[in-house]
Amino acid sequence: MAARPVPVRDETRDVARPVVRTQAPVRPAVRTILYSATRRLAIVNGRIVGVGDAVGDYTVTDIEKGAVVFTAPSGERLRVPVHATAPGEVAR
């Protein structure tokens, strides 16, 4: 009598893997910029911030007279004008 092959089951194919959804970082909302020769501050998402401060996942890279420049964790730079509301108003 010949031996019958035993089916080998790949258990890794049957394991249900949870779907991990990553949320896109919330874009900062710039409301006011305080710009002078000695100080540059901005009100972003209700907080007073300066260059180097973290806002959510972003870091304030520069504060200009009319916009704040952020750097995302990916290294992408994001320039947000004061009172920008639509995504089209945000420059990359």
22-26: average pLDDT: 69
pLDDT of residue 4: 75
pLDDT of residue 48: 97
Give the integer Cα–Cα distance in Å for 18 and 69.
36
User: What is the percent of the chain with per-residue pLDDT over 70, rounded to a whole number?
Assistant: 66
pLDDT of residue 17: 66
pLDDT of residue 27: 84
Q: What is the 3-state secondary structure (H, E, C) of 24-87?
A: CCCCCCEEEEEECCCCEEEEECCEEECCCCEECCEEEEEECCCEEEEECCCCCEEEEECCCCCH
pLDDT of residue 59: 96
DSSP β-bridge partners for residue 32 = 43
Residue, of 83 and 6, whose pLDDT is higher: 83
For the chain, what is the mean pLDDT? 83
Predicted TM-score of the model (pTM): 0.67
